[in-house]
């Protein structure tokens, strides 16, 4: 599985390299390692030709071009191509190691975030308990105030002021209860909208997965990792910024027209994926 992952990384890295330079063009590199014999085989397409090299303990033991075995005494004629392929494979491996290291850092950071979230939830529970205690104390204080007013019968004027204040307190309490009801209703609406958003996002992911699978099946792309942009509107269809023939567009709009509706845009750049609905390309 490690070799399969490395091969996928090599394909992505080599494809990016080929976009930046006109020569040399290297793509479709595959590396297989036999752990029993310590042999490594590198197969790659370069400048329209297929190269295959086998190494044992770091030394090349066989070399073929377009399926034809090249004798060892002629390897020097292809030294430049051999060096370029070896250098690219080395760079791809180094990048794969960096990616794995970054993934480990991300996992550790996520773990710390979860720990902090647990602490925050615990603190929220403590705050809620304290608020309940405070409300209970407030009720006790109000009851004591009522008793104090009964005892202050001689000071009628002050008692009247206290009653007026109590009326204001009750009015404020009514307002607070109304606001609390509104807040609860809004929370219900927010949860319902969140469920709709999650359902829509899941539908979008399924739609894009089906579209990409069809693109691979129709050989518009070689693998799913080859796509970095797909746009389908009522005006046409572009794949990786290339306008597709009307026949291709009609096939996909016929199959997915009810799903894409007024349009859909998918982009994958630098590990970030975005899906937009109800979108028209200007």
- Maximum C-alpha span of the chain: 121
42 class by beta-carbon count within 10 Å (0-12 exposed, 13-18 middle, 19+ buried)? buried
Question: Please, are residues 15 and 27 in contact by the beta-carbon 8 Å criterion?
Answer: yes
CA distance 229 to 237: 11
Nearest residue to 88 via CA among 9, 5, 7, 10: 10
Question: Computed over its alpha carbons, how large is the radius of gyration of the chain?
Answer: 34
Helices (H), 152-275: 156-217, 246-260
Residue 278: what pLDDT?
62
Edge-first strand listing for the sheet containing 49-56: 26-34, 39-46, 49-56, 59-65, 68-69
Distance CA(164)–CA(115), nearest Å, equals 50
What span, in angstroms and rounded, lies between the C-alpha atoms of 62 and 71? 8
Residues 6+ apart with CB under 8 A from 153: 159
The half-sphere exposure of 73 on its side-chain side, counting CA atoms within 13 A, is 0
- pLDDT tens sequence for the chain (282 residues): 444 444 444 444 444 444 444 445 555 567 777 767 778 899 999 889 999 999 988 899 999 999 999 999 999 999 999 999 989 988 988 999 999 999 999 999 999 999 999 999 999 999 999 999 999 998 999 999 789 788 967 889 985 997 999 899 999 999 999 999 999 999 999 999 999 888 878 888 888 888 899 899 989 999 988 899 999 888 899 999 999 999 998 998 888 877 776 778 889 887 788 888 765 554
Query: Tokens 């309490």 sit at which residue?
Result: 173
Q: Is the pTM of this model over 0.75?
A: no
**Token code pair at residue 197:** 């958003």
Assign 227 to helix, strand or coil: coil
Q: In this predicted structure, what is the pLDDT of residue 19?
A: 44
According to the model, what pLDDT value does residue 33 have?
74
Query: Taking the mean position of all CA atoms in its chain, how far away is CA 132?
Result: 41
Is residue 50 helix, strand or coil?
Answer: strand
Contact at 8 Å (CB) between 78 and 65?
A: yes
Rounded Cα–Cα distance for residues 169 and 190 (Å):
31
């Amino acid at each position: 599985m490690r070799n399969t992952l490395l091969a996928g990384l090599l394909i992505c890295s080599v494809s990016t390299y080929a976009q930046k330079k006109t020569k040399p063009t290297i793509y479709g590199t595959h590396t297989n390692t036999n752990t029993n014999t310590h042999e490594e085989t590198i197969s790659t397409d370069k400048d329209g030709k297929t190269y295959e090299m086998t190494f044992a303990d770091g030394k090349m033991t066989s070399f073929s071009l377009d399926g034809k075995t090249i004798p060892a005494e002629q390897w020097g004629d292809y030294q430049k191509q051999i060096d370029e392929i070896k250098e690219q494979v080395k760079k791809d491996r180094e990048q794969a190691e960096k990616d794995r290291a970054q993934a480990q850092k991300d996992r550790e950071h996520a773990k710390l975030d979860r720990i902090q979230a647990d602490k925050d939830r615990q603190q929220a529970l403590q705050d809620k308990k304290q608020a309940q205690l405070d409300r209970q104390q407030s009720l006790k204080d109000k009851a004591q105030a009522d008793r104090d007013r009964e005892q202050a019968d001689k000071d009628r004027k002050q008692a009247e002021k206290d009653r007026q204040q109590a009326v204001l307190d009750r009015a404020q309490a009514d307002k607070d209860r109304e606001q609390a009801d509104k807040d609860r209703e809004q929370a219900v609406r927010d949860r319902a909208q969140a469920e709709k958003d999650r359902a829509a996002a899941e539908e979008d992911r399924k739609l894009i997965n089906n579209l990409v699978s069809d693109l691979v099946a129709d050989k518009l792309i070689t693998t799913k990792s080859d796509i970095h942009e797909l746009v389908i509107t009522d005006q046409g269809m572009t794949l990786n910024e290339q306008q597709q023939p009307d026949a291709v567009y009609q096939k996909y709009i016929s199959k997915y027209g009810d799903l894409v509706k007024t349009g859909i845009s998918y982009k994958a750049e630098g590990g970030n994926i975005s899906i937009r609905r109800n979108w028209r390309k200007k």
